[in-house]
Structures are given as structure tokens and as C-alpha cells.
Amino acid sequence: MTNKLKYIIQTVVFALFILLLSLFCVFGKTSDFSDSERRALDKMPKITLESVKNTKFMSDFEEYTLDQFPVRDGFRSVKAFTSKYIFNLSENNSLYEKDSYIAKKEYPMNSQSYSYASKKFNFIYEKYFKENGGNAYIAVIPDKNEFLGELKIDKNEVQAHFERESSYAELIDIYPCLSKDCYYYTDTHWKQEEIIPAASLIAESMGTSIPKEYEKELAKESFEGVYYGQYALPNKKDEIYFLTNDIIDSFKVYEHLDTENKREMNLYVKEKLDGKDPYESYLGGSLSLITIENPKAGNDKELVIFRDSFGSSIAPLIAQGYSKVTLVDIRYISSAVLDKFIDTENADVLFLYSNLVLNNSNTLK
């Protein structure tokens, strides 16, 4: 076989490969969602005269082909391996790994975002709680960066901010109760079985107490958190545990669907363990309004917690110290209409938010 014929065959094979790959990208089966990246994938853009003229179609089409590229997850893993082990880059797909903990840097502190969050808290306190006879508290949940030795939001700056802009509330410092061991290897969140000291400190700071002994139920043996697929390299997997005792088992839990209707639900929603985000098994995930009633409470105290997803796993522990706890997620319900849904008379209020939300607080309504 002559060299000329070899070159012709190589060129034809390569051209056919590119052609088939292009046809697959355009006409092959597409996916709406990436389970590994936990995000929606771009769809084929519509062709219009206007979108072609202003080049929007081509830019959208490029994003579409990148999202729907054949064997995309495999190529993502190759890119991640090359970045980490060949080019020795510290970050991979905007994530980094240290001691098997995968995290995303949340730095620097966005002062405007914290101010926006404070204004929301202040509005809620002034409108619903100031005249009701209850007390106000703020507890900030650090993200994993705090304990991994990387760039992190300064705890002292955060505390100084709330002392200055939300002086009506008592600050509860839970940082000393936490370490990197309190967080999942592959997820943003903390482990319920590791945050008993933090829950106890919060309860005691608010004038109540909770048990320190629990039964630990293994709910999921192999938990791949939100960062596992995004990181695109093998890593330690996690386990999910549920904490129970006689008090927790007696809880009555309700999701409020509107001003008049509610449905009883499980504290731990085991069906979620096989879903896209198993962490949502704690209180069903991102629900806007939930109440936990505790028939074994030794008092008539009530508490309203404004929270993000971190609150889902710690709320069952704190709720042991109250007759009723209401959980509100103002990412999904407007703070301006809360009087239609909750009773704040004589209730204490706790603003319990992670740095991840406070530093990106435009999601708060």
C-alpha cells in the first residue's frame, strides 16, 4: 500500500468520523437533565431569521452541542484527570479536593449580598416579630472552606456585619462546634449525625434544651453528593444517617400547601433517597413552609426558623425543645405575605442560613 493511499484512507476515515459525530450531535437522542452535574442541559435552539441575523442562534447552538456531546461524561472525566494529574491545577470544573473533601470556593465575602440578607431579616423581624413578645436569633452556618484551609469568608467580618446591621438579634456562634468531619465528602451539606453539638448550642442559647442521645439509622449506604458528578473523578462516597428517638418519633409534620390546606408528611422522606438528591430525604427537601408539632414537649414554646437546605437536617433536633416549630424558606415564598401563613404570637425567631446563601442572597424573596 502506497503512502498516498494510506493518507487518503486516513483522511476519509477521519472525515467520516467527524460527519457521523456531527450527525449524532444534531439528530441523536438528547437529554434534558444531567444527573452527574445536577443541572438542566441546553436544548436545540429554534431557528428564526432574527436569531440567525443577530448570531444568537449560533451561540445557543454551540452551547447545545457542548451539552449534548456524545459520551460527554467520559470526556469530562478525561479533562478532569488531565487538569489535576498532568497540568497539576488546583481546581477542576471549579471544584477542588482536599483530604477527599470536594468543595467549591466561596470567596470573597459579598458585602452587598450580606446587606441584602440583613434587610430581609430586618423586614421580617419588624413586621412579624418585634411586637409579639418573642426573641430573635441569628446563626450562620459556615461552608466547608472554613475547615479545609482554603480561601474562606472571614467569620469575624460576618459577625461584625450582623452585630452592626441586625443588632436586635442575638448571634449564636456555632463555628466551634463544627469541623470538616461534620460535612459530606461529596456534598455541600453537613451530616445530621455530626451536628448534635451545634443543635444543642442553638437550643441552649434560645433557652431550651434537647437530648444528646439518639439511635442512628443507616438510610443510604452509598451517597453521591452534588459535587461527586461535577468533579468528574472518583472519590470517597458518603453515607446518609437518620437520627431518631422517642421524641422525634412522636413528631407530627405538615407541609402547608396554601393558607387553608396542609398535608401530613414524614419527617424523613425515604422515597427521596433514590432520587436525584438524596439529601432531600430530610424534611422532603426544598419546601417553602413546614410545621413540626411535638406532643412530648415539656413546654409551650414556639419557634419560627427561616432557613435554607442546611436547616432540613438540624431542624428535627432543635424541634425537640419546642411544642411547635415552623420552618420557612423565603427562597420559595415571599416574606411580604407570611402573615397569611404563620402565627408569630409569642414565638421566637431564628434566622439560620449558610454562608453559601448569605453570599448569594438574591434568591431570598
Tens digit of pLDDT per residue, the chain (365 long)?
A: 576 666 666 677 667 766 665 665 555 566 655 555 565 655 667 777 666 556 665 666 556 655 555 555 555 656 655 666 676 667 777 789 899 999 998 889 999 999 999 999 999 999 998 888 789 999 999 999 999 977 899 999 999 999 999 999 999 999 999 999 999 999 999 999 999 999 999 999 999 999 989 999 999 999 988 888 877 787 899 999 999 999 999 999 999 887 778 899 999 999 999 988 999 999 998 899 999 999 999 898 999 999 999 999 999 999 999 999 999 999 999 999 888 888 888 899 999 999 999 999 999 98
Between CA 278 and CA 288, with CA 282 as vertex, the angle to 5 degrees is 110
Euclidean distance between CA atoms 147 and 194, whole angstroms: 15
For residue 203, being part of any structural domain is answered with yes
- Which pLDDT does position 36 carry in this prediction? 52
Query: Comparing C-alpha atoms, which of 324, 285, 322, 323 is closest to residue 307?
Result: 285
Residues pairing with 263 in the sheet? 255
Query: Comparing C-alpha atoms, which of 139, 31, 67 is closest to residue 355?
Result: 139
For residue 68, being part of any structural domain is answered with no
Chain CA centroid to CA 340, Å: 27
For residue 168, being part of any structural domain is answered with yes
- Which pLDDT does position 60 carry in this prediction? 61
- Which pLDDT does position 82 carry in this prediction? 67
Do the strands 324-328 and 289-293 form a parallel or antiparallel pair, or are they unpaired?
antiparallel
Q: For residues 341 and 335, is the Cβ–Cβ distance under 8 A?
A: no
Euclidean distance between CA atoms 174 and 71, whole angstroms: 44
- Which pLDDT does position 21 carry in this prediction? 58
Between CA 315 and CA 148, with CA 140 as vertex, the angle to 5 degrees is 105
pTM: 0.83
Euclidean distance between CA atoms 179 and 191, whole angstroms: 11
How many separate domains does the chain show?
1
For residue 146, being part of any structural domain is answered with yes
- Which pLDDT does position 221 carry in this prediction? 92
For residue 3, being part of any structural domain is answered with no
- Which pLDDT does position 260 carry in this prediction? 79
Residues pairing with 262 in the sheet? 256
Do the strands 136-141 and 348-354 form a parallel or antiparallel pair, or are they unpaired?
parallel
Positive/negative CA dihedral, 327, 330, 332, 333: positive
For residue 121, being part of any structural domain is answered with yes
Which domain, by its residues, includes 220?
A: 101-363
For residue 322, being part of any structural domain is answered with yes
Euclidean distance between CA atoms 107 and 116, whole angstroms: 17
For residue 294, being part of any structural domain is answered with yes
Query: Comparing C-alpha atoms, which of 313, 273, 292, 307 is closest to residue 193?
Result: 313
Euclidean distance between CA atoms 322 and 1, whole angstroms: 85
Q: For residues 126 and 76, is the Cβ–Cβ distance under 8 A?
A: no
